[in-house]
Structure 1
Amino acid sequence: MKIERLYEADPYIREFDARVMACEQVKDQYRILLDRTAFFPEGGGQPGDRGMIGEALIKDTHEKDGMIWHYGDRMLNVGSEVHGKIDWDFRFSNMQNHAGEHIVSGLIHGKYGYDNVGFHMGSEAVTLDINGELTKEQVKEIEKEANGAIEANIPIQVFIPEKRVLEQMEYRSKKELDGDVRIVEISGYDRCACCGTHPLRTGEIRLIKILSVQNYKGGVRIAMLAGNRALEDYMDKHESVVDISHLLSSKTGEITGAVERLLKEIGDLKYTMVQMKREIMEKKAEAQEITGKAVCVEENEFKGNELREYANMLSERAEKVLAVSGGTDSQRRYVLIDKRGGAKTLGQEIQKLFGGKGGGSPQMIQGTMSGNFEEIKGWFEQHA
């Protein structure tokens, strides 16, 4: 059975009529086969179309063994005539982004000889995996030239050349292709084998924006957006920049410097707080009453590694120290020090009696435990 692919003849077709050839339940959804369709099936990095077929909400479209399956939320009667309607905003956004990728990849290939070896249209961005290294400055120049292609409003031509013509033609392709090869050409920028949908002219792309460049598998991964998604991304980020500038009382063009100054101030304050916390810790350790060789304390103020640091200070005056964090009886942090090397033995008892967990050395262990502090303290003073 040969499916009539309406999107190939006219990528702008939004509605169509067709006959249901098959409808099968697959887990919690139904896959629908039509004799003709305007829904593009996932391929070449472009997502499958979504929309409506009759009363069925179509969430995705895939091709398998030459058959185009539409995945919907309900059963359709085989043999029935149905009206299909694609989600045009979603489709046209994919067309803009796919064409934008062609321009960027084509420019990189033409200027540096690198290939696009991976392409994916995600929910956050379009990603291109390039098999060569590019600097941020080079990518910035690529972006500038790509938007020049939009300004020039060049026709985007789609055609299937004869085999003898194809053999003499230079074009980009990620893999060896058999049979008819569909070529997408943007004169002066790219010629590529592609199954996707694209606008008729580059001006419809509107905007290409490179979001980020990072090293990836010996090359670079470029994140980009084109068209309406790029414009929406710019509007959202501009709104954030304006909000940040108000919070920092700075002009929008000066917020980087303002943030750097703020981070320095925060860093200085953190350093001052650490020094002050250490002074408090030292004074508290000096004031702690230690009548024997062991001491058990409950500490509410010290967090993270501070509890261990406080226990170390106490160990300067005691052979054995058990410092326990405050909080609920069900979850406490603890640090146990035994300068004679018995910390692990005591730790085993903690695990048995107080649901303790943790590890360390014979001189010190740390972890978590549960229980009432007075009970913990009574046990420790008796066994330490």
Structure 2
Amino acid sequence: MAFRCQRDSYAREFTTAVVSCRPAELQIEGSNGKREVVSGFHVVLEDTLLFPEGGGQPDDRGTINDIAVLRVTRQGSQAHHFTQTPLNPGSQVQVRVDWERRFDHMQQHSGQHLITAVADHLFGWKTTSWELGRLRSVIELDSPSVTAEQVTAIEQSVNGKIRDRLPVTVRELSLDDPEVDQVRGRGLPDDHAGPIRVVTIKGVDSNMCCGTHVSNLSDLQVIKLLGTEKGKKNKTNLVFLAGNRVLKWMERSHGTEKALTALLKCGVEDHVEAVKKLQNATKLLQKNNLNLLRDLAVHTAHSLRNSPDWGGVIALHRKEGDSEFMNIIANEIGSEETLLFLTVGDEKGAGLFLLAGPAEAVENLGPRVAEVLEGKGAGKKGRFQGKATKMSRRAEAQVLLQNSISTERAEV
């Protein structure tokens, strides 16, 4: 028997009874983005308005007696509702569905059936899988390539059928019904029981499906194909939006256009050209800045070399700089008698460091400097460089180097 949500996808609330309630755990994504396990209960109802995930469609959200349902999964002929509050078996409960989420899934799923059928009819491409994503949906087509002209042809055809207001109906067929062989489908789940549910778009497609669907293509409003992406071997992914997602996409795009118009101080039609000019100007500035930084590195190296403090440990920090800046200084100095300790980046935060000088000393002291700066690095042939998270401890690292040099001289 189909669930209430499958018999009437437009129903938003109804009353049923609790069959069972047992302790369970659910893995969810926490506020920090990491997976975490929460304790709760698996509630089984006599019937349900909340669709359990299946057929490429995510599960519904909703409430049972105003208690939030965090997940709905199918186990054989039952739907398990995960809640964090127990419900008494035998009690009557009011079930409500999150209608915005449900209707969105109906639009995307029926849209997928329509696109799949049209792609097959026009070009003979079979759909091998599909994904109903949070912001967009993807259909995997059994074709190594799809041209822009073919995408346009599919989009025009599906939207024409939406304008024709074609009805969408749901029937149940027995497993031995000869009509089953005429219905498109990718097979039944191993634990399937009972009749086969068939979703038909009049004159277009009949397909085995357990999901929730619109009753008329007019409820799809419009379908927008966003283009194609490279899929698995010899497959192409077709990206699409249906219904309200198209309107939200247009709203986001319009908001972006308004923001760019204000920032670039030009009309929408000139956005691309304005960004290209900015990119070219940025590249030129980066090139000039790199040349200046190299010149500064050479000048700095000569200044250090000619400094009256030359010898022992020479330390230098510069907020602006990179690995190349430090290596140019080390190359220009080229000393094997002096320890050169260079750092760049945030004086109190993260940055880069380089230790250069006598190979044996650098090999021994490099890891110790990295430890003091709470970073990591590697080195060879008289150089050790890496990343540091605590640049504020530069003075400690410098003292470590100076003490090491003093100890070596005392021993000699």
- TM-score range (shorter-chain normalised) is 0.7 to 0.9
Residue 51 of structure 1, aligned match among 49, 62, 68: 62
Describe how 1:126-275 pairs up with structure 2 within 5 A. Answer: 126-135=137-146, 137=148, 138-161=150-173, 163-169=176-182, 171-175=183-187, 180-218=195-233, 219-275=235-291
- Name the counterpart of 2:11: 13
Query: 297, 306, 313: which is aligned to 2:324?
Result: 306
Query: Deviations 1:258-312 (Å, cap 9, x if unpaired)?
Result: 2122111111111111112222222222222256676623121443323433333
Deviation for aligned residue 1:71: 2.0
Q: 1:217-244 CA distances to partner (integer Å, 9 max, x unpaired)?
A: 1112333221112211221121111211
Distance (whole Å) between structure 2 residues aligned to residue 85 and residue 351 of structure 1: 58
5 Å matches for 1:107-118? 107-118=118-129
- Say whether the 8 Å CA contact 2:67–2:85 is kept in structure 1: yes
Instruction: Answer yes or no: is 1:85 the counterpart of 2:96.
Output: yes
Is 1:122 aligned to 2:133, yes or no? yes
Change (3 A) 1:176 1:113: farther
1:166–1:265 CA distance, 2 compared to 1 (3 A): same
Tell me the secondary structure at the aligned position of residue 211 of structure 2.
coil
Q: Deviations over 1:83-126 (max 9, x none)?
A: 22212221111111111111122222223333322222222222
CA contact (8 A) 2:146 2:236 kept: no
Structure 1 Cα separation of the partners of residues 372 and 49 of structure 2: 69
CA RMSD, 1 decimal: 3.0
Structure 1 residues 175 and 335, CA gap change in structure 2 (3 angstroms): same
User: CA, structure 1 residues 332+184, in 2 after alignment: closer, same or farther (shift >3 Å)?
Assistant: closer
Deviations 1:332-356 (A, max 9, x none): 6332334767642453665688777
Q: Which moved more, 1:107-116 or 1:276-285?
A: 107-116
Q: TM-score, normalised by structure 2?
A: 0.81
Against the structure 1 CA distance between its residues 54 and 341, is the aligned structure 2 distance closer, same or farther, given a 3 Å change threshold?
closer
Q: What's the secondary structure of 2:115's corresponding residue?
A: helix
Q: Does 1:378 align with 2:402?
A: yes
8 Å CA contact 1:334–1:368 kept in 2: the answer is: yes
Tell me which moved more, 360-369 or 319-328. 319-328
Aligned to 1:337: 356
Q: Deviations over 1:168-204 (max 9, x none)?
A: 51x4322257763222222454332111111111110
* Alpha-carbon shift at residue 145 of structure 1 (Å): 2.4
Distance 1:295-1:310 versus aligned 2 partners, 3 A rule: farther
Q: Choose 372-381 or 222-231, whichever is displaced more.
A: 372-381
Q: What secondary structure does 1:127 align onto?
A: strand
Whether the 8 Å CA contact 1:314–1:321 is kept in 2: the answer is no
Q: Of the candidates 382, 398, 403, which is equivalent to residue 363 of structure 1?
A: 382
**Residue range with higher mean Cα deviation, 328-337 or 112-121:** 328-337
What are structure 2's unaligned runs of at least 5 residues?
26-38
C-alpha spacing 1:274/1:135, structure 2 compared with 1 (3 Å): farther
How many residues align? The count is 381
Structure-1 residue corresponding to 2:28: none
C-alpha distance in 1 between matches for 2:87 and 2:52: 19
Give the AA of the match of 1:104. Answer: I
For the residue of structure 1 that corresponds to 2:50, the secondary structure is: coil
Q: More deviation in 203-212 or 355-364? A: 355-364
**Cα distance between partner residues in 2 of 1:251 and 1:106:** 40
AA matched with 2:197: R
Q: Return 225-234 or 341-350, whichever deviates more.
A: 341-350
Which amino acid is the alignment partner of residue 337 of structure 1? A
> Are residue 315 (structure 1) and residue 333 (structure 2) matched?
yes
Compute the displacement of 1:36 (Å).
Answer: 2.1
Residue 23 (structure 2) aligns with: 25
Percent pairwise identity: 24
TM-score normalised over the length of structure 1: 0.87
**Where in structure 2 are the equivalents of 1:269-308 lying within 5 Å?**
269-288=285-304, 289=306, 296-308=314-326
Q: 2 CA distance for matches of 1:87 and 1:354?
A: 52
Give 5+ residue unaligned stretches, structure 1.
none
How far is 1:150 from its partner?
1.5
